[in-house]
Amino acid sequence: MAEDPLPRLDPVQAIAYFKSKGWEIGFDWQDIWQEEHARAFTVAKAMSRDLLEDIRAEVDRAISDGTTLQQFSKALTPKLQARGWWGKALMDDPASGETKVVQLGSPARLRTIYETNLRTSYAAGKWQRIQRAKRTLPYLRYICMMDGRERPEHHSWHGTLLLIDNPWWDTHYTPCGWGCRCDTQQVNERMMARRGWTVTEPRRFPERDYVNKRTGEVTKLERGIDPGWAYNVGKAPLDGLTPAPRLGKGSYDDGALQAMLSDASFGRLRGFFTAFGLDTREAATAGKVWNDAAGWPVPIAAGLLRGADGQIVSISDTAARELTDAAKVLLDPKSIGWVWIKGDDGRAMLVRRYRSDAGVVDMGGSFWRWHFGSARGLTAGHVIWYANAT
């Protein structure tokens, strides 16, 4: 059977997008969730940096040089087999400690890795071009591959035509799932008039609560969108990847910071951001991917101080000073570990815990927090890095 054609990659934006990604090691595809994929390259159960580097190098070559799936598989298969990452194997799940029979490398997995990375890189690069041309081409049209193999919901979305800034594109910008072959077309009113097109109503299907069993995170998932794909791959900057702060009682004051950092508000938080080399308000807003002592990529940006409503939270002078100490813990921990904690609603959530003599900082998928003083009751969890390790 003939392969589905991949979108033509933009030779600049798509390559730049992929090369900007950090690294994340995850046992299960749900460990790295939605927007996290926009800033981190990961392959489920590829549990070493060397293995990820082999796979990433071939994906990079495919995007940069136009390598076909056959060339990609031919180059990568013997490398993975030499590392023992092929076929079925027994592996310990680091989250539960359970030993499981898992599928490692296979022709089907290589195809998924190849197509997913190329399609998302193309889509992310295209979104940058869409934004640059938005003043003259302000509309976006959903295009489905109408060959009888498309999802019925994607078939229904075909021809949906909305302004680029319509929030529908936050969850429906393609691809919308594994193997999704849909695309978008950017147009203006003159092009629409010539083709007889008009702006449509955004078509939506019923939603359900989807529970990520790995992290405990609950998200609303519309029918027709696969779990983990309800986001805009091109609209996921570092700011959007940062978890919201979880502040204790009494941490707020009356001096609200602006939604976008002003020079004055940046001044109060300067100690935190400059510790990571973000020396200006503009740099803090743009953010950066910082790799911790164990090599885990963490997005550092103004979004770390942004609440669920999109506003920079109001922080007391004490909390602002503690942020500088939190940066020191992140940059110079004595240990890093994974810890399961229980949220206020009873959900179990996985956090990455940084410990030092000064205090503890937890980084979770949807929130982060810091604690100074006695760490009694705050366990180290499953420690994966020690400062004195050789």
Question: Which pLDDT does position 274 carry in this prediction?
Answer: 95
Question: Which pLDDT does position 89 carry in this prediction?
Answer: 86
Please give the DSSP secondary-structure letter assigned to residue 390: -
pLDDT tens for the 390 residues of the chain, in order: 344 444 444 555 666 666 656 556 666 666 655 655 665 676 777 777 678 888 888 888 888 888 899 999 999 999 999 989 899 988 887 777 788 898 888 999 999 988 888 888 888 878 878 887 888 999 999 999 999 999 999 999 999 999 998 999 989 999 999 989 999 999 999 999 999 999 999 999 999 998 877 777 788 899 999 998 888 887 765 555 566 777 654 333 323 333 456 677 788 889 999 999 999 988 887 788 788 998 877 888 887 887 755 567 778 888 888 999 999 999 999 999 988 887 666 777 788 999 998 899 999 877 899 988 766 778 888 899 999 864
Return the HEC string of 134-156: CCCCCEEEEECCCCCCCCHHHHH
Question: Which pLDDT does position 254 carry in this prediction?
Answer: 29
HSE-CB at 143 with a 13 A cutoff on CA atoms is 9
Per the structure block, which two tokens stand in for 313? 């939270």
> Alpha helices, DSSP H only, in the chain?
13-19, 49-65, 69-82, 107-132, 152-157, 169-172, 189-195, 238-241, 263-274, 281-286, 317-331
- Say which residues have a Cβ less than 8 Å from residue 17's Cβ, sequence separation at least 6: 121, 124, 125, 128
Whole-angstrom distance, CA of residue 139 vs CA of residue 159 = 12
Judge whether 365 and 40 are in contact, CB under 8 Å: no
Per the structure block, which two tokens stand in for 179? 């193997």
Whole-angstrom distance, CA of residue 330 vs CA of residue 294 = 11
Judge whether 48 and 26 are in contact, CB under 8 Å: no
**φ/ψ (deg, to 5) at 336:** -130, 130
Instruction: Please state, in angstroms and as integers, the Cα–Cα distance from residue 16 to each residue in 37, 41, 101, 171, 330, following that order.
Output: 15, 13, 36, 23, 28
Please give the DSSP secondary-structure letter assigned to residue 380: -
Q: Look at residue 240 and give its three-state secondary structure.
A: helix
